[in-house]
Structure 1
Amino acid sequence: MTPQVSRLRARSQGSLAGQSRLRLPGGARRPRRVAMLSVHTSPLHQPGTGDAGGMNVYIVELARKLAAINIEVEIFTRATTAGLPPVVELTPGVLVRHVDAGPYEGLNKEDLPAQLCAFTHGVMQAWAGHRPGHYDLVHSHYWLSGHVGWLAAQRWGVPLVHAMHTMAKVKNASLAAGDTPEPAARVIGETQIVEAADRLVANTEEEAGELARYYDADPGKLAVVHPGVNLDRFRPDPQAPGPDPAARAAARARLDLPQDAFVPLFAGRIQPLKAPDILLRAVAHLVDQDPTLRSRMVVPVVGGPSGSGLAKPERLQKLAARLGVADIVRFRPPVAQEQLADWYRAASVLVMPSYSESFGLVAIEAQACGTPVVAAAVGGLPVAVHDQVSGFLVPGHDPAAYAAELRRFLDDPSLADRMGAAAHRHAQSFGWDTAAAATADVYAAATHERRRRLRSPHV
């Protein structure tokens, strides 16, 4: 284990401890109903392409579990298709409200700041149709939603809880080659939200530190809550709760993958930030070292273009051709969560070489399915992956370093099964029930603090 990975691993253990440290103040009560804001991407969208990704999964799963503990959630999101019903019930206790703000199609995320006024108007219209006090708290996701949440919370006299998910300054500090920096307007917007929010939810202690270091966040506002994984959906065998050696074979049969192949998987949005090119370069490195691998390795890339990757949607396919590995790389479009679980089960290892990750839900999902992970030692991944136990963390983005870690699995065919069993055990501590309970405690603490300030405004 390198010194850098050791430091990150220590921070991850501190993060686990930090999550357990949260204590409710005396008399604090959980809210009855929360307005949850997700301006730029709908929880109903398919994750893995466009702007839909881990945040979509986060919002859906968190809302469902909050509803299960009697906190109703209404999710406001921008309507992106004509004819959408104004309100959709996602599950009992969770509503999705579609807000008209700008044209339905052809609007990039970068264009959305100009539509925040219209979106805020739609949120206020929905609120005006209810009795005063309908919403007890606002929970905004991503900086665009934070600005709407800031205004709504002030107007309604309720707390604002905000989750960054990603941060401009953090992304700009670790850009992939040729990637586009986040604009100054986003940096300014995030700084304002950090100041305005009653509570800031960070995925890890590392992210909480970044909020303090890059944005001068008040430590008293920071709360660490690890995201979760749907342990009913993501498991080694869809029919059984525990590991089963036959599950991988069955998944490969369903996906038409060779039973005896080495299968390193990439799953996620195809953009420079996620670095799928690192996997292709690592695979090319392995094939150059051992040409026989060409006949016994399949590399699935499951996802669609997103972000700056939309400018050149076929760039990854062209790279595979230039590297001479197009014959062993299989590009597949984004899939529903149930089929994504099958891809995890079928893989020998998940490869996640991202330049920046606030947490890395994909890594936890794969491990819950009994698949080890090779990931970049960045952001929240040292929390998501137990280095040397459930997978390997790689400092930096040298394809040769990733090839060396993948070589371990090739040299020891039993390693994937041994690490996969450990990965499954590691993932069991990341259920959404735990995340929802911790989030509800953050809500209660924010509500208590706001009431205390109203009673004693000069304190």
Structure 2
Amino acid sequence: MHQIRRVAMLSLHTSPLDQPGGGDAGGMNVYVRALALELAATGVAVDIYTRRTSPDQPETVALDSLVSVHHIVAGPFGKVSKEALPELITEMADAVADHVSALPGEPVRVIHSHYWVSGMAGILVAKRLDLPLVHTMHTMARVKNQHLPQGQSAEPGVREDGEQHIVAAATRLIANTTAEAAELERHYDGCEQRIDVVSPGVDLKIFKPAFRDRSRQDLGIAPGSFHVVFAGRLQRLKGPHVLVKAAAILRAQRPDINLQLSFLGSRSGSDKYDLQALIEERGLQDSATIYPPVEASKLADWYRSASVVAVPSSSESFGLVALEAQACGTPVIATNVGGLPRAVSDGRTGLLVEGRSPQLWAEAIASLHDFSETRIDMGRAASVFAGSFGWEQTAAHTVLSYDLALTYQYIAPPGC
């Protein structure tokens, strides 16, 4: 029996109640919500803290009998950019600590922060309440800056410094992959003995390989088209423009491919990235369409309607979209960066592309179009591969990290 009965999760810059695919909502929102619900299934109560952005938001929303989302008041109502959030760290930490201290029933034993803003607040909360801090980076400034796409601003120094402080102060660090663990050690002098590798999961009850023809028909995907789906925030980091440019190359070089592109997402925050303008500039209005983000069950239909799902990111700590798509029996083409080589088995469940050259992406798309039997075999292998990434495993390994945090709260583990 594990030691943990209750944990406080900090997701201060974005709420697990938000729709992924737009603004600041993405894979981390899915991660926090799914992990909390799976922890609850093992008997662990989870109190999630996020910043209140509207006076109309209830103080608490129950996701489950053991999972509550608390909206704490810090700063003005309304959205605050991630760049401005550091100014509110102390105020957010005080609000969280006050609320945790007043919780009735089973006491919180561990603070688990997500993303660097929450990590900085988590340090203050953990110190005030004398609790261990477990932190999950999700993304890291120094890694993103190392793979910075042209035209995108570098992550600020205050974030790099904050992440360095978190790595030094956290009791345990959770990395999505061994590659991310190595990046924590290389870029932030992270102690190997304090890093736990825990793979994210996928909801296998929703994302499953069923009714592919029906999904295509219901979504209006033209018969005979080679349908490529992108799901995520429409920003340069995620690379939807790579697909548009690759599609323009294919139109010129391979007019026999009846290519149809579907982009599910919206712009991220203040990002001026205009994908629609690029689509029109390349004359692809008849084959490339942007749709708003959709909830999970509808997203699964989109994945099943796809011939392939594309993840042309310049940096990914893991790539939940790749895993969800494969769970639906759809092969994935992804950039060979970050955690994507862990999420996609190259040549077996999809293809990994070196870099984001539109020509290379065009060739990868064309190869899966031309070898349809290979693509079908990849889809079958993809669903089997993704089946080993259930959230119950993520929760079980996370609990082990919590237990280690309690064990080493006041002493460093051997080797550190």
Q: Which TM-score band (shorter chain)?
A: over 0.9
Alignment of 1:274 onto 2:247: no
CA distance in 2, matches of 1:304, 1:87: 27
Conserved? CA contact 1:150–1:160, under 8 Å: yes
Conserved? CA contact 2:90–2:124, under 8 Å: no
Deviations 1:96-154 (A, max 9, x none): 00011122224211111111122112112212324698210000000000011111111
Alignment of 1:290 onto 2:250: no
CA distance in 1, matches of 2:280, 2:105: 61
DSSP-derived class of the 2:408 partner = helix
Alignment of 1:100 onto 2:73: yes
CA distance in 2, matches of 1:426, 1:128: 43
Alignment of 1:250 onto 2:198: no
Conserved? CA contact 2:94–2:125, under 8 Å: no
Selected match of 1:150 from 123, 135, 141: 123
Conserved? CA contact 1:370–1:420, under 8 Å: yes
DSSP-derived class of the 2:259 partner = coil
Superposed counterparts of 1:42-53, under 5 Å = 42-53=15-26
Conserved? CA contact 2:172–2:405, under 8 Å: yes
> What is the match of residue 265 of structure 1?
229
Superposed counterparts of 1:279-358, under 5 Å = 279-293=243-257, 296-307=258-269, 310-313=270-273, 315-358=274-317
DSSP-derived class of the 1:209 partner = helix
Conserved? CA contact 1:142–1:163, under 8 Å: yes
Selected match of 2:35 from 53, 62, 69: 62
Give the count of matched residue pairs: 414
Conserved? CA contact 1:161–1:198, under 8 Å: yes
Deviations 1:398-439 (A, max 9, x none): 111111111112212333321100100110110000010000
CA distance in 1, matches of 2:283, 2:148: 26
Percent identity between matched residues is 46
Alignment of 1:426 onto 2:385: yes
CA distance in 1, matches of 2:260, 2:333: 16
TM-score by length of 1: 0.88
Selected match of 2:10 from 31, 37, 44: 37
Conserved? CA contact 2:97–2:129, under 8 Å: no
How far apart are 1:304 and its partner, in Å?
0.7
DSSP-derived class of the 2:218 partner = helix
CA distance in 2, matches of 1:216, 1:169: 12
> What is the match of residue 11 of structure 1?
none
CA distance in 2, matches of 1:343, 1:337: 10
DSSP-derived class of the 1:165 partner = coil
CA distance in 2, matches of 1:157, 1:132: 18
CA distance in 2, matches of 1:389, 1:311: 35
Alignment of 1:443 onto 2:416: no
Conserved? CA contact 1:264–1:349, under 8 Å: yes
Q: Which runs of 5+ in 1 are unaligned?
A: 1-27, 238-246
Please tell me the root mean square deviation across aligned C-alpha atoms, in Å: 1.7
Name the structure where helix makes up a greater proportion of residues: 1
Alignment of 1:367 onto 2:319: no
Tell which deviates more after alignment, 34-43 or 404-413.
404-413
How far apart are 1:259 and its partner, in Å?
2.4
Conserved? CA contact 1:86–1:97, under 8 Å: yes
TM-score by length of 2: 0.97
CA distance in 2, matches of 1:409, 1:177: 28
CA distance in 2, matches of 1:264, 1:138: 40
Deviations 1:49-82 (A, max 9, x none): 0000000000001000101111110000001122
How far apart are 1:260 and its partner, in Å?
1.5
DSSP-derived class of the 1:430 partner = coil
In the superposition, relative to structure 1, how do residues 135 and 331 fare at CA in structure 2: closer, same or farther (>3 Å)?
same
Amino acid at match of 1:226: S
How far apart are 1:291 and its partner, in Å?
2.6
Amino acid at match of 2:70: R
> What is the match of residue 176 of structure 2?
203
How far apart are 1:220 and its partner, in Å?
1.1
Deviations 1:221-262 (A, max 9, x none): 11100000000010011xxxxxxxxx2210011111112210
Deviations 1:249-298 (A, max 9, x none): 100111111122100111111101001111111111111012343xx221
Runs of 4+ in 1 over 4 A off after TM superposition: none
